[in-house]
Every structure is written in structure tokens, then in C-alpha cells.
Amino acid sequence: MTKMTGAQAFIEALKRQNAKVIFGIIGGATLPIYDVLYDSEVRHILCRHEQCAAHAADGYARASGKPGICMATSGPGATNLVTGIANAYMDSSPVIAFTGQVSTRTPDSSYMIGRDAFQEADIIGITTPITKYNYQVKEAAEIPKTVKMAFHIATTGRPGPVLIDIPKNTQTDTAEMEFSDGIEIRGYKPKYSPHPIQVKKATELLVGAEKPMILAGGGVTSSNAFQELLELAELLMAPVATTFMGKGCFPENHPLSIGNIGMHGTRAANQLILETDVLLAVGTRFSDRSTGKLGTFCSNKKIIHIDIDSAEIGKNLDVDIPIVADAKKALKAIYDSLIKQVKKRKDSVWFRRVKEVKEQLLNNATVEEGKDLKPQALLKELRKILPAEAIITTEVGQNQMWAALYYKALKPRTFISSGGLGTMGFGFPASLGAKVACPDRIVVDIAGDGSFIMTEQDLASSVEENIPVTVIVLNNSMLGMVAQWQRLFYNRRYSAVKLGRVPDFVKLAEAYGAQGVRIGSLNEFSKAVRKAIKSTVTTVIDVPVSPEENVFPMVPPGKGLDEVAIG
Amino acid sequence: MLYSVANLFRRRGFNIDSISVGPTEQEDLARMTVTVKGDDKTIEQVVKQLNKLIDVVKVTRLDPANVVTREMALIKVHVSETKARSDIMNYIDVFRGRVVDISPETLMVEITGGAEKINAFIDLMKPFGIKEIARTGITALSRGLKSVRIEE
């Protein structure tokens, strides 16, 4: 037991969790914490908007596999985190948010919770549906245990964001603080090991499968099950498709990789998933964007579904063999059980079919050099320039889907994007978080002009905090993906999608002390990227592209994966 | 806690019929009895989603065939004539209710039982003129040795 203030206990508890970095913005209700932080070795990165702090923490978490921390003051500071928290929740990212709150008591009750005090917002009420867990500290002495719980809950089981609300008086109050090692939470016991009977059933199904296929989702990345996935896929000679969130968990230059399924999946993946007889789906929640029409998706196949969250079993899809377990453990168990019964296949009719479909259908959208710069060609070029371990983040929209289709992810955690919530403005702050987590690696944000402008103000933190990244703005002066839908489904009535030729992204970058460059050809693009990734300051590369360009292939909303439009 | 449970039902579009909360034999635990309408698949999702809430320690699906359910209702009925008053008293007797308040113009009845019994009684009272009803919502325990208990 040590006597200290709540704020001191808070920082001490963070250190005990091995927390190195906080992304945040200070405010009235977090002053006591920041006063302690001033003398601490925990790095604080001052963002320019709390949404960026949350996204940066998310990018940090996804790049490193460790929890990302963000902090905001009460009221508007806290509510500004909301989009970032919702984003982390949808993509199961271990983001821990700490918010200041007005005091639980004050001598004259004028500035306390429940009195609509200045900068009071019910952030617990607001974030209940978008956090894995949230809690408001009642007394200073609770702080060490609460911080520990936050880390434990955010990072175990199915990861997810946790928010801890810390009233100002609990930061300043002094108490005997107990920093215990263990943690026991009644009602929270994640299940990691697969049930042997389910593993046996899955094995039987896979042994008899003629056309097995694996669908790998974000859960494979969360549980770092990359090696297990690779070994199982090679043992079965099963093609591996990924969901959007799973991109990168299986090397996309591997002969068995067939890319993403879904609305903007590869044609090969969407074709082969309809041909498979046994689908092993791991760490995916079968989102509408992945499956398309469920009837088509499920027909003529048996499905094995591994997920650590039992509520995902049967939520969107009825499956034949559910396995509630950690992806890594489940894949290993299935492998161990299979290897006793089957020999590693070298070739099969199915594998030849996979090869054939891949050759015929894999991203064969024509990419010739014409008048306009083709985003598809730029992304293929980018892949040639960047080393395998470089990290890509994306914004949301056409830029994101072009990146998913044309930029091959070769290593885990190198493709970071907002999948579930589809948050425009995510990519740039996430790139900053990723760069902070992995300072020795190249980090590139693939952006659109519409998305980048939503969080560009954090160019300031990028410059001031020395976090050099490269931003490639695929600039079509449009909210391109919405415009694409209007072009395809609303008779080209371009309502509210034209952004115009503002701002000048080169000048914008320069205004922040970053570098800006506009390119006009593939050759210039290549040169600009090579220069930017070596630079010690953030570079924004403005790439004018045609507003008429579509992302294809595309499965129109509500259609089956067999109804692909290829443009 | 009530907030996160209620919020979960709203958010996921589950139909909640009633919810009742109270302390239990274990000091630090509250017990919520939730009545939900839905097919087997829906109820399974309800149970799983509730289990995900960190502060929910245990979720048990009670089998309607093997459970005692009770609800209490307070019903205030308008009565001015003596004849009506005596009719009501007879009904109360049959339903094993109690009169808990009397005024020159009203009677307040306390009635306990399954939801159907209470609904039937309310139907009987309607012709007299019901002024107010307060119902607790259903609470329930499974029969026999089976119990929802958290081992320490």
C-alpha cells in the first residue's frame, strides 16, 4: 500500500501495464493527471482533435498488437472520442480511452456530476453500446484496479475498446493505493481452448472435403494465428480468402491466396467460395459486406465457424460446426488432429481449379496508361516500391477498396483500415499511431480527398511530434464512392458529392510544415513516393485522378456473390 | 447495470416484455428477471449477448415448464355504489387478492400471480372503471433443487 493521489496512482498503474504512449488532448477535467504526466516517462502525443487521438490509439494497437491508449477531457473532449471508440468496437481493436469527468462532489455542489456542470457529458451512457466495457471511477482508491481491469478486458477474449471515466476529485484525492498483480472478474472468463468434440467433427468434415476453403477474418490477426493458418492451409491445399478485416493475415503472394471476398472482393475469391464444399471460417462475423446475399453464400456447402465470441455463432448465419475458441488454438488443434489422418497434399483437382480461376479472374481490370492516372496502377506501383513490412493505412471509400484490391498485403498487420464502421478520416491518424508503434517502418496512408480533409488538422501533431508518414491523396474532387453509387444506382444524379478543387493539398501540407507534392504521371508518382518514404517529415502526395473512375469488381448491395459487376 | 441491459435489448431489436430487478441472497449481486418474446434462435442470441456484458455474472434461460413465475399488480378501481363494491369484493376473494386501500370513491387491490391471472382479473375490473394500474413485471425461480447461484 502506498499513499498517493489518484492522478499519481493512475500514471503508476499505466506504467505497470507497460504503457509507453498516450494520444490525447488535455482539458480542465484532466489537469491533475497531466500534471503528473509532466514528470513521467510515459510519452504523450498531443493531437489536434480527440477523434484523431482515438484513431491514432487504434492504429497503434493494430500495428503493434498491443493496446492503444487515448485520453480526453470531460464533455466535448470525451464526446469527440466517440467516433474513434465506435470504430474500434466494430473492428475489435483494443483501444483504451480515459476521460476526465466533473467531480463526484465539490464543497458547494456547484461543479459535480448530475448538475449539468460545465463540460459535463454522460460519457458512460453515451459509450455503453460501443465499448466492450466502461466504468466511472467513484473513489481515488479504485484507480489502480480499474486501470488494470481496463487493460485486461480490452486485450483478452475478443478484444475491444474500454472507456474509463475519471472524475476530477478522484484524481486529486489521496488514498492508500494497492497495486495487486492478479485480477479476477466474475462474469468475465473468455474461453480460449476449443472443445475436442467440435475439433473432431471439424476434422472429419475436412478429411472428407474435396474442395476445402478457408475464410480468414480479423480474428486471425487479433490472435496472431498467422503461422497456424498458413500450416493448415498448406496441409489441406485449401485456398485462403480473407474478409476485408482479415487482409494481411495470409500472405497475398502465396499460391493459395485468393484475396478478399465480398462487395469489393476479388472475382476469384467470390467465385471459389461458391464452389467450395467445406468452408472453414475463422475469426469472422459474416458481415453483410463480406457475404452478400446469405442464401447464395451458404448454398451447397458445410461451414465450420471458429470464433472466440460465442455470440457471433449463429448471429448472422447458421453454421454446421461452431467452435468457440481462440483462432490460434483452434487452428492448431484442427491441424494436429488432421495431420494424423491425412498426408500433406501436393496437388489436387481442386487446387488446379483454384489456379485456373485465379489466372482467369484475379483482378484483371485493365490498367493501361491513358490520359488519366489510374489509381489501380498507382497502387500496384506502390506495392513494387514498398518493402513487405511497410504499413499501409487507408481512409474509407474508393481509395480503400482500390487499396484492398490492388495493393497486396504480404505481412500481418501491414494493412490497417476501418472495416466495420467505415470511418472516413480514420487512415491518417491511424497512420500516425502505426508509425509511433513501429518507428522503424515505413507508414503510408492511402487517402481520398474527401476523407483526408476530415482529419488533416493532425498534420500539426505529425510535424510537431516528429511522426513522419506519407499520405497519398487519390484526389478526384469527389466523394468518390458515393458518386460511384449515384452513377450506378441513381442515374448519375450527383447530389452533394462534388468537392471542387479545394483545398490545394500541397499548400495545405506546407502550411503545417509538412511537405507537399503534386504529381502528374506514374513516373512522377514513383519518384515522389521514393522520396517521401525516406523523408524525416510527413509528405502529402496529391494525385489527381478521374472523378469517373469506378471500383470494380463490385457485388451490388443485396446481391449474391455470383452477381459480380466488372465494369 | 439496468441501463446496459435495457440498452442491449433496444440496440439489438429484441422484444422485451417485462424486466424486474431486486437484491438476492448474495449481498453483492442483483437478480434481473427478463421476459422476452422470440423464437429459439432469438432467445439464444439474447442469452449470448447478455453474457457478453462484463457486469452480468450469469445468464440462465428458465424453462417455462419448470418454473414458478409471479407478478404483483396494484389496481385502483372506481366504485361509488355499494352493489359494485360487493361484486368487486367477491372477485377479489376468488382471485385471492387483497384490498389495501379504501376511499369513498375507490378501492385499491393487490393481486399476485402469473401474468394470465392478473390479466384476467384486470379484465373483470374494467367494467367498473379502472383508474390506475401498477405492475411489477414478472419475477421467477425454477422449481426444485435447480438454482441460479454464483459460487464464490
CATH number, domain containing residue A128: 3.40.50.970
pLDDT band at A396 (very low <50, low <70, confident <90, very high): very high
Q: Using the predicted structure, report yes or no on whether residue A492 has a pLDDT greater than 90.
A: yes
- pLDDT bin (cut points 50, 70, 90) of residue A368 is low
Q: How confident is the model at residue A137 (pLDDT cuts 50, 70, 90)?
A: very high
Residue A374 has pLDDT above 90, yes or no: yes
Residues A214-247: pLDDT tens digits? 999 999 999 999 999 999 999 999 999 999 999 9
Is A118 a catalytic site residue? yes
Q: Does the annotation count A213 as an active-site position?
A: no
ipTM score for this prediction: 0.90
A332 and A421 part of one domain: no
Mean pLDDT of chain A, nearest integer: 95
Residue A465 has pLDDT above 80, yes or no: yes
pLDDT, residue A355, reads 95
AA letter at B93: D
Displacement of CA A215 from its chain's centroid (Å):
18
Q: Do residues A219 and A100 share a domain?
A: no
Active site residue A119: yes
Residue A275 appears among annotated catalytic residues? no
pLDDT average, residue stretch A87-101: 98
Q: How far apart are CA A463 and CA A545, in angstroms?
A: 27
Q: Provide the pLDDT confidence category of residue A367 given band limits of 50, 70 and 90.
A: low
pLDDT, tens only, A33-59: 999 999 999 999 999 999 999 999 999
Asked if residue A554 is part of any domain, the answer here is no
Residues A397 and A492 in one domain: yes
CATH topology of domain B68-139: Alpha-Beta Plaits (3.30.70)
What is the C-alpha separation between A422 and A161, in angstroms, rounded?
17
Q: Which residue of A has its CA nearest to B47?
A: A311
Domains B2-61 and B68-139 share a fold: yes
Among A90, A112, A177, A481, the one annotated catalytic: A481
**B150: closest CA of chain A, how far (Å):** 9
Q: Which residues in A lie closer than 8 A to residue B57 (C-beta atoms)?
A: 186-187
Joined grid coordinates for residue A216:
480468414
- Residues A210 and A261 both lie in one domain: yes
CATH number at residue A246: 3.40.50.1220
pLDDT at B39: 92
Residues of A in contact with B13 (CB under 8 A): none
Looking at residue B148, its pLDDT comes to: 77
The reply to whether A34 and A161 lie within a common domain is yes
| Count of Cβ atoms closer than 10 Å to residue A151 Cβ | 22
| CA–CA–CA angle A445, A446, A448 (5° rounding) | 120
Identify whether residues A310 and A386 lie together within a single domain: no
* Domain edges within chain B: 2-61, 68-139
Contacts of B83 (CB under 8 A, 6+ apart): none
> Are A78 and A205 within one domain?
no
Residue A60 at interface with chain B, using a CB cutoff of 8 Å: no
Active site residue A50: yes
Q: Are residues A356 and A432 in the same domain?
A: no
User: Are both A384 and A346 inside the same structural domain?
Assistant: no
Contacts of B149 in chain A (CB under 8 A): none
Domain membership of residue A8 (yes or no) is yes
Considering only the beta carbons, identify the residue of A129, A187, A315 that sits closest to B55.
A187
In a shared domain, residues A304 and A332? yes
Q: What is the mean pLDDT of residues B1-27?
A: 91
Residue A265 cell numbers, joined: 472482393
Fold classified for B2-61 = Alpha-Beta Plaits (3.30.70)
* Rounded CA separation A168/A103 (Å): 5
Look at residues A339, A361, A383 and tell me which one is the last residue of a structural domain: A361
- Mean pLDDT, to the nearest integer, of A112-140? 96
Cβ-contact A444, A472 below 8 angstroms: yes
What percentage of chain B carries pLDDT values higher than 70?
99
Number of folded domains in chain A?
3
Answer yes or no: is pLDDT of B143 > 70: yes
Nearest to A475 by CA among A458, A509, A451, A507: A451
C-alpha–C-alpha distance, residues A18 and A208, integer Å: 47
Of B45, B48, B56, the CB nearest to A187: B56
Q: Does residue A204 sit within a domain?
A: yes
- HEC secondary structure over chain B: CHHHHHHHHHHHCCEEEEEEEEECCCCCCEEEEEEEECCHHHHHHHHHHHHHCCCCCCCCCCCHHHEEEEEEEEEEEECCCHHHHHHHHHHHHHCCCEEEEECCCEEEEEEEECHHHHHHHHHHHHHHCEEEEEECCCEEEECCCCCCCCCC
Q: Omega into A94 within 30° of 0, i.e. cis?
A: no
% of chain A residues with pLDDT over 90: 92
A541: which strand partners?
Answer: A472, A517
| Edge-to-edge strand ranges of the sheet holding A21-24 | A43-46, A21-24, A68-72, A95-101, A162-167, A133-136
By mean pLDDT, which of A340-354, A406-420, A527-541 is the weakest?
Answer: A340-354
Set of chain B residues whose Cβ sits within 8 Å of the Cβ of A132: 54
Residue A474 clears pLDDT 70, i.e. is over it: yes
pLDDT more than 70, % of chain A:
98
The stretch A515-524 carries a mean pLDDT of 96
Query: Chain B residues contacting A, CB < 8 Å?
Result: 3-4, 7-8, 11, 41, 44-45, 48-49, 51-58, 150
Number of Cβ atoms within 10 Å of the Cβ of A180: 9
Q: Exposed e or buried b for every residue in B76-95, given b needs 16+ CB within 10 A?
A: bbebeeeebeeebeebbeeb
Cβ-nearest to B44 among A186, A187, A314: A314
Residue A477: pLDDT over 90: yes
What is the number of CB-based contacts under 8 A between chain A and chain B?
A: 34
B44-101 pLDDT, tens per residue? 999 999 999 999 999 999 988 899 999 999 999 998 888 889 999 999 999 999 999 9
A478 with A333, same domain? no
**Non-local CB neighbours of B147 within 8 Å, separated by 6+ positions:** B141
Q: Which of A122, A131, A188, A317 to mutate to test the interface with B (most CBs of B within 10 A)?
A: A188
Residue A286's DSSP bridge partners are none
In angstroms, the CA A271 to CA A279 distance is 13
Domain that residue A328 falls in: 196-361
- The pLDDT confidence band at residue A1, using thresholds 50, 70 and 90, is confident
Domain-embedded: residue A146: yes
Query: Which of A114, A146, A177 represents a domain boundary (last residue)?
Result: A177
* DSSP 8-state assignment for residue A374: P
Enumerate the residues of chain B whose CB falls inside 8 A of the CB of residue A153: 54
Question: pLDDT tens digit string along B99-113?
Answer: 999 999 999 999 999
Q: What is the pLDDT of residue B146?
A: 78
pLDDT for residue A363 is more than 90: no
Task: Report the range out of A436-440, A556-560, B87-91 with the highest average pLDDT.
Answer: A436-440
Asked whether the beta carbons of residue B54 and residue A188 sit closer than 8 angstroms, the reply is: yes
